[in-house]
Structure 1
Amino acid sequence: MSIFWQLTRSFLLPIMKCKNHHQTEKLYTNESGVAIPSKMERNIIKGQTCLKYTSVHILKKEDTLKSVYPEFLPDPTPQWRNKLREKLERQDMLARRAVMPIPEFYVGGFMKCSMNPTNPYGKSNYFGVCDRGGGSLKKGYFLWKMSENGVEILYEMYCPLITSIETLRLEKRMDEELLYLRDSLPEYSTFPLDMDPEPLQEGATVPINQLKVKLKPRPWHSRWERFNLQGVQDLELPTKFIERAKTFEKPWEKYDLMKDYRETISEEEQRDIFLEVSSSYPQMEAARRRIKRTRT
């Protein structure tokens, strides 16, 4: 009986200690925002037994990384996934950011891009409104501007030919893509050539532009009545177009859990990715703040 009690006590005592540590110990972070392993976690690393323990998290910094640096998340399409390639791409992206600071921007913001092309005409500058973005190392953004005719240029954000990227107006729009600007009236895509940067105070939330654009009469580049667009005025279409657009609606997709799973990166994988990137987070944030101070 005594031998059984000793074996039971030797097995249960570490578990009870780990449980108490899990309830009482605080989680401290280093300068990069990465949690420092607690005493309980260090004991686990040394080989002690515990059934439940706290994993390493990125506190508060993770939300900032998700919102400001979403390109570090890979494309969730299963047939395009390759973890080795994604890891090498993230290293290349961090190395590029160490050479050229990239400001914070969103779809709908006004941006200026300077590029040193291979042609003999030298450096070129172009600015416009960002109407669409991409992801991963090939993350690009389309700048749309109306000058005589509409001009839309794709810039790959991490292209080595780009010398500088500047955000003239930091704001968001109500839609994730602004491709309908191709069919909007010219005044919604016309900007002054001498537009000055409009700085945003440090710590202020990014404003959402509630502007609703007016589209030109049909024909359009796409059937915009079939999209749930928030930034477009009433399309003023005949009833038959509206009724036909309703047949293409898929209201059940917002309840499709498998569709959401296939189109997103899991929280566990996101945590691992941002834990890998977090070591360079202070340098990226310092560069981003330095760009803001330069604009002011």
Structure 2
Amino acid sequence: MASMFVTRVIPRVSKVPILMPCRFSRQRLPPEYRKQYLEKISNEALDKYRKSDFVAYPALKTQRLWEVQPQEPKKETKRLYQELVPHFIDPRYRDRLRERLERCEMMLRRRNLDIPEFYVGSVVAVRTADKFAPDQSHRFMGICIERFNEGLWTKFTLRNVIEKTAVEIQYELYNPTIQSIEVLLLEKRLDRNLLYLRDAPLDESRFPFDMSRIPYNPSDPVPINDKKVKLLPPPWAFKWYLHGYRGIHDSMYDYLTPQQLSEIQDKINLVDRYDLMKMYRSRLCLEEERIALGDVQIQHQDLIRHHEQRRQELIDKHKETRRTDKTTAHGGR
């Protein structure tokens, strides 16, 4: 029986090992979050080497490999490519060259997969390849309750109710097995995630699988749903009252004990909101965001030209097929 449950030992800070099932250890994280891209040599040393007489290529003396000449990004670029913005982490563990190569890879994958604009709270339908399904594909739709990570590591979670059972499926946004992503209802919620729906009535997560798509004008602002969700009585899966969720109904506080209310007061009195250095390290620099989106703007124009060329090729192919059918029909007469 021991061989059926494969585990691995993970050391903790207190040097007391814990056992974690391997299925949880397979969850991939960006290398920056694992602190793998630690700077081995400073930029000053690299610049000194480029300007020296030992460099065989004069171009390296004047330009860095990761420098680009980005265009000024448009307002809708951030809405369309919100996962291409650099990571919100310590700059010491960032690799800007890898981020640029990763953005190029994501734009190339978008040539084969149309990724629409959607947010937490939108109703999305995803079709993936499944060799065990009768039609070799599987379709699941539900409300997006979470969207996290950036770049090629972007993931999102859909939640729906099937036969009185809540089902959640987590997808990788740039997974090659995804065949199509369709937004049935585009809207936002008040919070960055809707994980508290796990402790809410099932009606809050139930959407019919034959739901028709609600049309939306791209030029209009994204509608915001300010609905307040009532939670079920405790016990809850998480201490939702400590994290300032605005989408939870105030009836949640009726279930709290005096000790839990004092925890909320202690949370309010924390000095983290006055820590300027913590705010700086947890927010993206506007200049970095402008450079990244400007680089994406150039590739976005190439992507539009590719889709227009592909569309024209399909139209010409269809016309040629119809012309051939007509010639065959006249020849048969």
Q: TM-score, normalised by structure 1?
A: 0.72
Deviation at 1:179, TM superposition (A): 0.3
Structure-to-structure mapping, 1:240-251, within 5 angstroms: 240-249=259-268
Residue 68 to residue 120, structure 1, CA distance change in 2 (3 Å): closer
The answer as to 2:98 corresponding to 1:85 is: yes
Preserved CA contact (<8 Å) 1:58 1:271: yes
Q: 1:256 to 1:267 in 2, by over 3 A?
A: same
Aligned to 2:219: 203
Give the structure 2 partner of residue 151 of structure 1: 167
Unaligned ranges ≥5, structure 1 = 1-54, 288-296
- 1:145 to partner: Cα distance: 1.1
Assess if the C-alpha contact under 8 Å between 2:197 and 2:204 holds in 1. Answer: yes
TM-score by length of 2: 0.64
Written as runs of structure 1 = structure 2, the 5 A alignment for 1:131-170 is 131-134=145-148, 135-147=150-162, 148-170=164-186
- Matches for 1:12-161 after TM superposition, within 5 Å: 58=72, 61=74, 63-78=75-90, 80-119=93-132, 122-134=136-148, 135-147=150-162, 148-161=164-177
Cα drift, residue 254 of structure 1: 3.4
In the alignment, the residues of structure 2 paired with residue 251 and residue 282 of structure 1 have an alpha-carbon distance, to the nearest angstrom, of 47
Once the two structures are superposed, the pairs formed by residues 208-247 of structure 1 within 5 Å of their partners are 208-234=224-250, 235=252, 236-237=254-255, 238-247=257-266
Would the aligned equivalents of 1:226 and 1:246 in 2 still touch at CA under 8 Å? Answer: no
Runs (4 or more) in structure 1 with deviation over 6 Å come to none
Taking the aligned partners of 2:217 and 2:228, their CA distance within structure 1 comes to 26
**Given the alignment, which residue of 251, 268, 285 partners 1:266?**
285
Match of 2:18 in 1: none
AA aligned to 2:114 is P
- State the Cα deviation string for residues 230-283 of structure 1 (Å, max 9, x = none): 111120223332222222335543333212221122122222212211112236
Residue identity opposite 2:81 in structure 1: Y
RMSD between aligned residues: 2.2
Is the 1:101–1:284 Cα contact (8 Å) retained in structure 2? no
Q: 1:110 to 1:84 in 2, by over 3 A?
A: same
Ranges in structure 2 where 5+ consecutive residues have no aligned partner: 1-68, 308-333
